[in-house]
Structures are given as structure tokens and as C-alpha cells.
Amino acid sequence: RERRGVYYTPEPVVSYIVRSIHGLLKTEFKKADGLADDGVTLLDPAAGTMTFIARAAQEAVREFEVKYGTGSREDFIRRHILKNFYAFELMMAPYAVGHLKMGFFLEELGHRLADDERVPFYLTNALDAEELEQSRLPGFSALAEESRLAGKVKKQTPILVILGNPPYSGHSSNMGDWIRHLIDDYKQVDGNPLGEKNPKWLQDDYVKFLRFAQWKIDQAGCGVVGMITNHGYLDNPTFRGMRQNLMRTFSDIYILNLHGNSLKKETCPDGSPDQNVFDIRQGVTIAFFIKRGEKQEGAAAVHQADVWGVRQEKYKWLDTNDLQCTDWKELAPSSPFYLFMPRDTELEADYLRSPSIPDIFPVNSVGIVTARDGLTIHWSAEEVWKTVTVFSGMDPELARQGYNLGKDVQDWKVTLAQKDLLDSGPTREKIVPVLYRPFDVRHTYYTGSSRGFICRPRSEVMRHMLMGENLALITARTNKSPTTDHFFCSNYIVETKCGESTVQSYTFPLYLYPTADRADLFAHHESSERKPNLNPKFVTALAEVYERDLTPEEIFCYIYALLYAPTYREKYAEFLKMDFPRIPFTTNAKLFAELASLGGRLAELHLLKSPELALPTCQFEGGGDSRIAKGRKAGLRYEPSEQRVYINATQYFAPVIQEVWDYKVGGYQVCEKWLKDRKEHQLEYEDIRTYCRIVTSLKLTLDIQQEIDTLFPQVEDKIVLLSECESTSQ
């Protein structure tokens, strides 16, 4: 059940959706009896144990009895509920329970199913358009008939209402050609491709069920969809094509955001706790999509509301409200994001005037994905070499057991990893540093071959970090953390979770080296052979503004400074959480130079190469074995009153102020994370030296951020308009 993302729907959620649809049928579709109207057909395409169908039947029977009495109730159930209320389910257990449940439920409503009657609840996959031809197989005639009836509902029966709680599963097993072809419609926005190599979140099952519902309503020509789903599609940039497509299909869209996203650490606007209506971490939303029969003129009107609070408060609200009495706010979703969430449109327009990071640095990619960090990432080059030489010569099954590698997956297999190592030597030359987490440089064996020792090496970008001196900006397209701190830099190849703990981070190299075969990946090239990874139009425009040619480093450092301005992060937090950052460039040449200088200091500090680190602000004190101990009392801990970071009962780093201890990059609390990852390890001299330098770097970073913040308001007084420099990122 959990693997398929199937969760029981709380009754208040079901009630709100059913009662709202009942009202919409009366007001929007002129069905005076709502769900009890003869012309209403209804489908739950992922029905589970029939919770939604049962509640809809109850509402329909109640409406019929109030208006027409109880004398013909049985006939109403037989002729309307059992003929027009359809349901699909893929899993056998809920399918069986659902039939039993509806049998008992209909008895309670006054109708006992006859031997020749059944609830139109079919064992089928709603997302599979092609029904199995099992009638040719002996013993499968009943299942073949089930498939035939389900197929008729899918393809031929006009459905006016689609409702339910479809499964949420990012790793969907519903990969049939039919539904994937329909999902392709969501990969376009404003007539252009999304520009994402792998928009995998569009493959989530709930997205596919929404697309199925949209297709069925299109078939009927009019209708309403009411579903509770993951709320990720409301503002995630990957779904902007989906949002635009839904707006083109439907006349009105109502979004009731129930929040409860513990992954984003959501709290109520007043700071009090916010809880999910389900026992899941992903926030949810109830959405209604209405398509009237007349020809669609323009995009849908989008209405939005929020429900915050603890679970029981949300249940109480849902029980006592419906769509008709909800306090909706009208949104105006617009290009390029088409957001289904409120935002400051004036601020958005101002923000969108500036170029985004991919507009400036065209060549980029997410960081490397190893698929097996425990095997491929090590503290030292010597540990990598030992692993490579032993692992490459082992029997594959013994290697799997010895290194706890688990089962092979599509993109990483033990035999392919071993072949990659043997084909490359092995040779010590291919052992390289990798920035694994902020300030945490480790080592790996890098051949550049995909689906080899490293699953996805991203050699098209990472090779530029290996062929000579370079510098790369690290950021993320989206940010699920409550803070906007997903910015860092590196002069090594970068692991994909380095710059953001909750999503993949991207690497933007400053320089590009000459194209070379993979065999020449490690060949050193002179700096004169490299070229800047900068949009030429952008560079030319800036040169005209500042009346001089800028160095690539100046541009990089200016950008880096702005990304570390607290006011910039706070002001544009809403946008920084849903797409790559955009950078306003001042028209003031002197101000540009000042910020570039501060950004350069920051970059050197974060690379731990700054001369300012020569005199550390903290030391390592106390006697012991320098081992990071386990346990709260005698292990790793911070004592704020002493400004000490203890690694065991007797040894500590000090002084470390609270602000430095709490400092985060990409959602990682740097000072804690660096030591926590080394728990039970004995710190050597170089480790101690590095940690002291990290603490010093963060303390100086805080000071420089304040300097940048005093200058940031001047940037926005007059900015360069560079929208014409936009390019398609690679």
C-alpha cells in the first residue's frame, strides 16, 4: 500500500469534496437534484474501498428522499446509483473489500443487491487504455468480462463527475504508452518545451490520474473533477506546463491548499504548528476543475484558499464548509510560471526583469549521482584506491555482499561498475576530489562513463572541472527547505545533493575547456585555451553599461555576493524556492566593483583558500583520543553558554558562537553536519585544521553578508534590463 502511495482518505475530506460537487452540479450544470439527477454519471478511477462512491451515494439518496420521499428509494438506487456511479481499482484486496462494503452500505440505505445485480466497480488499471484480451484464456471469462465493462466506461461512457484520492507515487509503475503520451501535453509551456532533461515529477501517479480525469471530461464536453492530491504541482516549476494546460481545458479551477508539508517544515502564518490531514510528510490540496459546455474563451478563472492548523482543526473546518461557502481569492496565473498559489504580482514582474542563472551560464547540469555512495565516495584517495583495486577483481556476488550493495538497479549494476574500472585501468590518475557537501571534500574514482562505477557522472559538465583550473556556482532549481540558502561554490566536481539537501543541486562552471574524448578527460589544458561559460550577449550588454570589459571572475563574484545578501534572499524567497535565482545587475560601475570584491572574498572563504583564514577564530582544546563519540551527553554536542563544540567528553572546538553553529548552507547545518558525518572517526591533524578554518570562514561570512546587505538597496535603485539576453540552458 505504501509502495503504491495509497492512503485511506479521512471522512471530513471526502465529505467536503462530495458536498461541494453536489452543489456545483446544481449551480454550474443546472442539475436541480445534484448527485441525484438522472443525467449525472460519476467515476472514482482509484476507488480503494469505495469511500468516495459510498459518500456520493449517501448524498444522492438523501437529496432524493428529501425531495421525493422514501417510497421509490429502492428503485432510485437500482436505476441511478447502480447504473451511473462507476469505480475502478487496481489492487485485489481493496476491490474485494469495496464490493462487500457497498453491499452492506446499500442495505443500510434500503436496497439489498439481487443475485443479478452488482455495483459497477471494476478491477482494472484506469491508466491503461488497452484492456487485456483474457477471454481467450481458459478460466478467465469472468475477468475478461470485467475488463470489457471497464474498457467501455473508459472509452465510451460520458462521465460528468470524476472524484477521489488517487495514489501518490513519484516512482510510478504506470508507464504505458497511452498515459505517457497524454502526459507529454504537460511538457510544453507557452508553445515551447519545458527545457528540462528529465521532468520526472510529471510521472507521479497523481499527475497521471489528474490527466486521465481531464481527458475523460474532455470526452464528455463538460463536467467537474474533485480530487485531493499532493500539492507539489501548485508551484513547482516542473508543473508549469501542466498548470497552463489545465487552465486551457477548464473554465474554473478551485484550489484549497491544506498544506501540512513537513518536508518544507510548514507552519501556520502565525508560527503555530501546521499538520497534515494524512499521516504523510508531503502537503496536500483539494482541487475542483470545472468545464462548462460552452466553447472555452480564454484561460480558466483560478480561485484559491488556504486551511492551516492542526489536523483536528482542519477536519472540523472541512466538516462545516463546502466550496460554496469557502472564502476564495482569485488568482491571475501568468507566464512563465502560471502559479496556482498567491504571490506578489508586482514583485514578480520586477524580479522577472533580471536574467536567471542558466541565462548567464548556459552550460550546466545537476551534480554527479553515484547510486552507491558507500562504495564510490571515500575520505581519502588511498581509501578509494584500495576499494577500486579490491572491488574490481571480486566475484560480482561476493562484491555485492562484501560492500552491502543490495540489488542492481536500471542505471547501476555491479558487473558494469567492475567493467568500467577494469576498462579504465584501474589507475590512480582517475582518483579525484569531489565536493560531497558544503565544505566537505572527499574522493572518488571518476572515469566519465555513464552507468559505470559512478551511475551518472555528468561528464558533459564535470569534465570542465577536471581539465584545468575552474570555479563553479552551485545552486538548485527548487528549494524545499524553509530557508533560501542553497548557494555555494566549488573548484572540484560536485555531488548532486551538495548544494541542497532536499532536491538535486546544479553545477554551473565558470570556464569551458576544449572538447575532448573521454580518454583525454584528465589532460591538463592551459588557461588560454579555455573560454568563459557566459552568454555572449549578456557579457556584451554589461560591457556597454560599465564602459569596460569585465573579467569572468568579476561577473561570477558579483552574482555570488548578491546570492548571499540576506535582504535579497528574504525579498525574493517565494521565487527562490521554485526556480533558479535571477540576478539584478546595477547600472553603477563602482557599486558593481564593490560587490564583486565582497563576492570574491566569500568565494575564497568557501573554497577554504582565503588568506583571511591564516589566523583561525577557534582552536581545538582538551586531552583525549580526538575521536568523535556517540551519545548526547558524552558525544557530539554544542554548549552555547561555553561557546564550545564538544566531540567527546573532554575535547572541543572553541569559541564557536551560536550564529556560526546554526549557520546553514543548502539546508545543512554546516558545523554539525561536518562532524556528524565523521562520528566514531578519529580526527587527524588535517581534519582539525579544516574544521577550525570552516568555523572561521562562517564567522567571516556573516560579517561580509552584513556588508553586502548595506549595499543591496542601491542595486535595486537602478538595474540593467537584460531580458533580451535570455538563452536556453543546456
Residue 723 confidence (pLDDT) = 54
Q: What is the DSSP letter of 272?
A: -
Provide mean pLDDT across the span 663-684: 96
Per residue in 456-498, pLDDT (tens digit) is 999 999 999 999 999 999 999 887 777 899 999 999 999 999 9
pLDDT above 70 for 652? yes
Residue 600 confidence (pLDDT) = 98
- Give Dmax (Cα) for the chain: 92
Residue 719 confidence (pLDDT) = 79
Output the nine-digit C-alpha cell for 591.
557599486
Look at residue 532 and give its three-state secondary structure: strand
Provide mean pLDDT across the span 648-667: 97
What are the phi and psi torsion angles at 124 (to 5°)?
A: -160, 165
pLDDT above 90 for 503? no
Output the nine-digit C-alpha cell for 34.
445534484
Banded pLDDT at 697 (limits 50, 70, 90): very high
Provide mean pLDDT across the span 557-574: 96
Residue 176 confidence (pLDDT) = 83
Residue 199 to residue 89: CA distance in whole angstroms: 27
Q: What is the DSSP letter of 456?
A: B
Per residue in 147-184, pLDDT (tens digit) is 888 988 988 899 999 999 998 876 667 778 899 999 99
* DSSP-assigned letters across all residues of 64-105: HHHHH-STTHHHHIIIIIHHHEEEEESSHHHHHHHHHHHHHH
At residue 224's C-alpha, the angle toward residues 334 and 344, to 5°, is: 25
pLDDT above 90 for 511? yes
Burial (0-12, 13-18, 19+ Cβ within 10 Å), 587? middle
Q: For residue 664, what are the CA distances in angstroms to 455, 642, 659, 671? A: 28, 21, 10, 9
Name the average pLDDT for the chain.
91
Find out whether 343 and 350 touch, Cβ atoms under 8 Å: no
Per residue in 598-630, pLDDT (tens digit) is 999 999 999 999 999 999 999 999 999 999 998
Pairing of strands 42-44, 85-89: parallel
Q: Which amino acid is at 196?
A: E
End-to-end CA distance of the chain: 39
Banded pLDDT at 17 (limits 50, 70, 90): very high
CA-based nearest residue to 160, from 225, 95, 251, 78? 225
Residue 281 confidence (pLDDT) = 86
pLDDT above 60 for 344? yes
Phi-psi region of 5 (alpha: psi -120 to 50; beta: other; left: phi over 0): left
Pairing of strands 301-306, 252-259: parallel
pLDDT above 70 for 140? no
Residue 727 confidence (pLDDT) = 47
Contact partners, residue 360, CB within 8 Å, separation at least 6: 534, 535, 538, 555, 559, 583
Q: How many CB atoms lie within 10 A of CB 68?
A: 13
CA-based nearest residue to 374, from 395, 404, 352, 347? 404
Per residue in 256-290, pLDDT (tens digit) is 999 999 888 889 999 999 999 998 889 999 999 99
Residue 502 confidence (pLDDT) = 81
Residue 516 confidence (pLDDT) = 55
Residue 477 to residue 167: CA distance in whole angstroms: 26
